[in-house]
């Protein structure tokens, strides 16, 4: 099963620009639920998006420097089942 | 009486790297199930830190020149631009679980600002936030800088409040990349001497209040491996 990695609500995100900083993993690598998957930046916060499930990171759809919004799909994780 | 507690580690003077290591150990402890929330209070020797939005041009001197003055430079994982920490400043690093506290990143930044403003009232210092910016300002300039990082909804890094007059390190940098920014301190604004311990006490009380928690002194179990109290 593929699980989508979405940008969670960071609060008041209408006025806050959020950009992708970098991914901690490459596609094809195994991740565990709760791992820091990628870092996104607001003005004063560096927020690490936690992996929503354990499995293999099969897709990263947001690149470094890209502006993203709450609910955007950032990548996908293929789980064991 | 609240049941929620925040465990305060008042560590006094501690080099930046050591305090960063302490923060990371507490974050790791929380990730492995420690449910306590923490607040580290520290005073750093002179240091320049560069956040994720950091711009090298916001440091006015080459790193070698800073090193010659005994000022180290650290590139770190908090949000925000360049800042300075040094003697006369109370730095606070809350290590708390945002989900558990019912907060998100934005409301947490606002909570820190509210706590600082509240704490400054004890010194008869009027302070405020500025639309679209993060930090705390007074009529004489910026008095507190804020920059955080969040991992698995656990916060680290935090806030720095200038307490004493004459913190000279800010002339080494362009604070937060704002070229017209004036930096001030509690003493400058209130015009009379302020004790660092009073600033620590008021900041702790105001932060705990904002969080709806009771501040208690942290016990030295997992924390003090190298530096016993």
Which residues on A lie below 8 Å from B134 (Cβ)? 43-44
Q: Can you give the pLDDT at residue B223?
A: 54
Six token digits for residue B94: 């809350």
For B154-193, write each residue's pLDDT tens digit.
999 999 999 999 888 888 888 767 777 899 999 999 999 9
Q: Can you give the pLDDT at residue B29?
A: 93
For A26-42, write each residue's pLDDT tens digit.
999 999 999 999 999 98
All structural domains of chain B, each given as residue ranges with its CATH number in brackets, are 44-88+98-152+159-212 (3.30.930.10)
Is the Cβ of A14 closer than 8 Å to some Cβ of chain B? no
Domain boundaries, chain A: 2-78
Contact B164, B88 (CB under 8 A): yes
Is the Cβ of B94 closer than 8 Å to some Cβ of chain A? no
Is the Cβ of A24 closer than 8 Å to some Cβ of chain B? no
Q: Can you give the pLDDT at residue B195?
A: 97
Low-confidence ranges of chain B (pLDDT < 50): 222, 224-229
Phi/psi region, residue B189 (left: phi>0; alpha: psi -120 to 50; beta: rest), is: alpha
- Which of A21, A34, A47 comes nearest B150 by C-beta? A47
Q: Can you give the pLDDT at residue A16?
A: 65
What residues does B89 pair with on adjacent strands? Answer: B162
**Best CATH choice for the domain A2-78 from the list 2.30.40.10, 1.10.1750.10, 1.10.510.10, 2.40.50.100:** 2.40.50.100
Q: Give the DSSP letter string of B182-195.
A: -B--HHHHH-S---
Q: Can you give the pLDDT at residue B32?
A: 92
Mapping DSSP to helix (H, G, I), strand (E, B) and coil, where does residue B19 land? helix
Interface of B with A in 33-72 (CB under 8 A): 51-53
The catalytic residue positions of B are: 176
Q: Can you give the pLDDT at residue B227?
A: 44
Q: Can you give the pLDDT at residue B6?
A: 95
Q: Helix, strand, coil shares of chain A as percentages rounded to 5? A: 0, 50, 50
Which residues on A lie below 8 Å from B106 (Cβ)? 10-13, 16, 42
Q: Which residue has the higher pLDDT, A17 or B9?
A: B9
DSSP H or E segment with residue B23: helix B16-31
Q: Which residue has the higher pLDDT, A11 or A5?
A: A5
């Amino acid at each position: 099963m593929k699980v989508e990695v979405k940008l969670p609500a960071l609060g008041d995100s209408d006025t806050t620009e959020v950009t992708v900083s970098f991914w901690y993993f490459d596609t094809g690598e195994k991740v565990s639920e709760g791992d820091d998957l990628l870092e996104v930046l607001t003005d004063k916060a560096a927020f690490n998006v936690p992996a929503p499930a354990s499995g293999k990171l099969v897709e990263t759809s947001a690149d470094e420097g890209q502006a993203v919004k709450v609910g955007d799909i950032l990548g996908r994780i293929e789980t064991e089942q | 009486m609240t049941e929620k507690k925040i465990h305060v580690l008042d560590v006094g003077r501690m080099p930046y790297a050591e305090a960063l290591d302490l923060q990371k150990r507490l974050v790791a402890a929380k990730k492995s199930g420690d449910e306590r929330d923490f607040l580290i209070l520290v005073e750093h020797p002179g240091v320049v830190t560069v956040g994720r939005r950091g711009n090298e041009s916001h440091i006015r001197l080459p790193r070698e020149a800073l090193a010659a003055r005994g000022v180290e430079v650290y590139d770190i994982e908090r949000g925000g631009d360049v800042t300075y920490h040094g003697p006369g400043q109370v730095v606070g690093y809350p290590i708390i679980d945002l989900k558990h506290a019912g907060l998100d990143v934005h409301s947490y930044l606002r909570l820190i600002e509210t706590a600082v403003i509240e704490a400054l009232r004890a010194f008869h210092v009027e302070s405020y936030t500025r639309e679209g910016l993060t930090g705390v300002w007074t009529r004489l300039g910026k008095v507190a800088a804020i920059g955080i990082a969040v991992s698995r909804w656990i916060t680290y890094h935090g806030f720095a409040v200038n307490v004493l007059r004459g913190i000279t390190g800010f002339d080494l940098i362009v604070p937060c990349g704002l070229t017209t920014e004036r930096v001030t301190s509690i003493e400058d604004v209130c015009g009379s001497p302020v004790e660092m311990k009073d600033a620590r006490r008021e900041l702790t009380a105001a932060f705990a209040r904002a969080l709806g928690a009771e501040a208690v002194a942290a016990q030295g179990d997992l924390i003090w491996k190298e530096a016993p109290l």
